C-alpha cells in the first residue's frame, strides 16, 4: 500500500478533505504537523511532529521517518507546508516542486521579481522598505502609479491588502498594512509591496502541474467587483463566462507565471485580472484553492480535487482532470470585528434551489475580524445548477437570507485564527 505524508498545520481546516481523499484512494496516511497531539487525538491516525517553520529540519525529520517507514509522497495541504513538502521531496527523490520555486511563490516580492525577469504580464511594482518614511512612501506610490495596492509580502487571504488612490492615502495605508502584518507575526524588517492597481475582471485559475505542464482544472469567475479599498472575496462561480480571447489570455498568463517561478509538479492556484484580451497575474500559489472551496468542484472520475493532488504525487493515473458542471461557492464574509455569536438563516439558505450544502467553520464565541485585518470567513455555501448564471443567483439568494450576529463590544484584541 502506498504511504503519503500529509503536512497539516494545526490551524487548517483542510484536514478532513485530504484524509477522506487518501482513504478513497486506498492510501496509508501519516500526518505531519506542528501540533501532533491535538491532530492525532482528533483524527486517530499516525502522526509525525515536524517544525513547518524550519523546512531544513522538517525535511531531515521526514527523511528519518522514511528510513523506518518509507514514504511514497509528501503533500502539503496549504501554504504553511509547501516549502517543507518541496524540501522533503527533493531529499527523498519523490515527485516535488523545486524548493526555491515554492519559496518564491510564498514571497510576493520574490514572485514579482521572477515574473518580471520572464516578462510575464503583471502590475508595475516596487518594494517599500520597512523603514520608509512618509516621503519615501509617497515617492514609491507615484513611481509605481496611482491608484496602487499596498500589501505584505508573505500573508494570504487578502489580509493586509489595501488600495490607495492618492499619495496621502498611500502613506496612511502603508502604516495600516504594516500594523496588520506585524500583528500577524511578520518580522518588522520585512518590506511591503506596492503594486499599480489593475482594473478589470478577476478570475481564479485552479490547475495541476504535471512535469511542468499546467493542466487547467477550473477557472472561477469572481462576479463581485474587487476594486478596494479592501479585497474581500465572496462568490466564486465556474465555468468562467469570460470571452474566449480573455480566457486564453488568462491561461497563458498563469502558465507563464508557473514557468517563470520554476514550479513543476503539484497544485497551483492563481489569481489573474483580465480586460480586452490583456491579462495580468496578481498571485500564484503552489497549493490548492483555500478554505473549503474545493468542495465546489466535481470531476468526471468521481475524485475530489484533493484526491487528484494525492494521486498525482503518487504518480497514479489521473484520468480526466477538467472540472465538470456549473458550480460555485459563497465565502460567508465577516461584516464587522467582534465576537461571533452565530448565524441565523442556515436552514433557509440550504432550501434555496441549487444550494447543495452550507458549512460554518468558525465556532461561536471566537473573536473575528473582516478583511484586511482578518483572513478567514465564517463559512461556505455551495451551489450547483445547469448554468453559471443559475449558480450565481442561488448563492446570492442564500447570502440574502443569512443573518450574521457579531457582538462588536466584545471584540477587543486580535481575531482568532
pLDDT at position 12 is 74
Q: SS3 string of 49-72?
A: ECCCCCHHHHHHHHHHHHHHCCCC
pLDDT at position 41 is 47
DSSP designation for 416: P
pLDDT at position 44 is 57
17: left (phi over 0), alpha (psi -120 to 50) or beta: alpha
pLDDT of 226 strictly over 50 = yes
CA 147, 156, 41 angle in degrees (round to 5)? 165
Span 161-198, pLDDT tens digits: 999 999 999 999 999 999 999 999 999 999 999 999 99
Cell of 386: 445547469
pLDDT of 379 strictly over 80 = yes
pLDDT at position 14 is 83
What mean pLDDT comes out for the span 303-329?
96
Residue 391 pLDDT level (bands cut at 50, 70, 90):
very high
Residues 6 or more apart in contact with residue 214 via CB below 8 angstroms: 207, 208, 251, 254, 255, 258, 268
Kindly state which CATH superfamily the domain 325-417 is placed in.
Aldehyde oxidase/xanthine dehydrogenase, a/b hammerhead (3.90.1170.50)
SS3 content of the chain, % helix, strand, coil (to 5): 35, 25, 40
CA atoms of 318 and 76, how far apart (whole Å): 19
Domain positions in the chain are: 3-104, 124-196, 325-417
pLDDT of 415 strictly over 70 = no
- How high does pLDDT run on average in the chain? 94
CA atoms of 317 and 24, how far apart (whole Å): 14
Cell of 327: 458550480
At the topology level of CATH, where does 3-104 sit? Rossmann fold (3.40.50)
Model confidence, pTM: 0.93
Q: Class for domain 124-196, per CATH? A: alpha beta
Q: Answer yes or no: are the C-beta atoms of 6 and 18 closer than 8 Å.
A: yes
Identify the residue with better confidence: 80 or 144. Answer: 144
CA atoms of 291 and 374, how far apart (whole Å): 14
Amino acid at each position: 500500500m502506498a504511504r503519503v505524508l500529509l503536512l497539516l498545520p494545526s490551524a487548517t481546516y483542510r484536514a478532513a478533505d485530504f484524509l477522506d481523499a487518501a482513504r478513497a484512494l486506498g492510501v496509508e496516511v501519516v500526518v505531519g504537523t506542528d501540533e501532533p497531539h491535538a491532530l492525532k487525538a482528533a483524527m486517530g491516525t499516525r502522526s509525525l511532529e515536524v517544525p513547518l517553520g524550519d523546512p531544513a529540519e522538517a525535511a531531515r525529520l521526514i527523511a528519518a521517518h522514511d528510513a523506518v517507514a518509507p514514504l511514497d509522497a509528501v503533500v502539503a495541504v496549504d501554504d504553511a507546508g509547501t516549502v517543507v513538502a518541496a524540501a522533503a521531496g527533493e531529499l527523498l527523490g519523490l515527485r516535488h516542486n523545486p524548493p526555491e520555486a515554492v519559496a518564491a511563490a510564498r514571497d510576493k516580492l520574490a514572485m514579482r521579481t521572477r515574473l518580471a525577469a520572464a516578462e510575464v504580464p503583471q502590475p508595475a511594482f516596487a518594494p517599500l522598505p520597512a523603514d520608509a518614511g512618509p516621503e519615501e512612501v509617497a515617492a514609491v506610490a507615484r513611481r509605481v502609479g496611482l491608484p496602487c495596492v499596498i500589501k505584505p509580502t508573505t500573508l494570504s487571504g487578502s489580509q493586509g491588502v489595501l488600495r490607495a488612490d492618492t499619495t496621502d492615502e498611500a502613506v496612511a495605508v502603508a502604516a495600516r498594512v504594516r500594523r496588520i502584518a506585524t500583528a500577524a507575526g511578520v518580522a518588522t524588517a520585512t518590506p511591503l509591496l506596492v503594486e499599480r492597481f489593475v482594473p478589470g475582471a478577476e478570475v481564479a485559475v485552479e490547475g495541476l502541474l504535471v512535469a511542468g505542464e499546467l493542466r487547467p482544472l477550473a477557472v472561477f469567475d469572481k462576479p463581485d467587483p474587487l476594486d478596494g479599498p479592501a479585497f474581500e472575496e465572496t462568490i466564486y462561480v465556474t465555468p468562467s463566462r469570460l470571452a474566449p480571447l480573455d480566457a486564453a489570455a488568462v491561461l497563458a498568463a498563469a502558465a507563464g507565471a508557473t514557468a517563470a517561478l520554476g514550479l513543476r509538479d503539484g497544485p497551483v492556484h492563481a489569481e489573474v485580472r483580465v480586460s480586452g484580451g490583456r491579462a495580468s497575474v496578481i498571485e500564484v500559489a503552489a497549493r490548492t484553492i483555500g478554505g473549503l472551496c474545493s468542495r465546489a468542484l466535481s470531476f468526471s472520475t468521481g475524485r475530489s480535487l484533493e484526491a487528484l493532488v494525492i494521486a498525482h504525487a503518487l504518480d497514479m493515473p489521473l484520468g480526466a482532470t477538467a472540472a465538470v458542471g456549473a458550480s460555485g461557492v459563497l465565502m460567508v464574509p465577516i461584516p464587522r470585528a467582534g465576537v461571533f455569536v452565530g448565524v441565523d438563516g442556515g436552514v433557509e439558505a440550504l432550501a434555496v434551489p441549487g444550494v447543495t450544502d452550507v458549512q460554518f467553520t468558525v465556532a461561536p464565541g471566537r473573536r473575528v475580524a473582516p478583511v484586511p485585518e482578518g483572513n478567514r470567513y465564517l463559512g461556505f455555501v455551495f451551489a450547483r445548477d445547469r448554468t453559471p448564471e443559475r449558480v450565481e443567483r442561488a448563492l446570492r439568494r442564500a447570502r440574502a437570507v443569512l443573518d450574521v450576529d457579531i457582538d462588536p463590544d466584545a471584540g477587543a484584541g486580535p481575531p482568532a485564527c
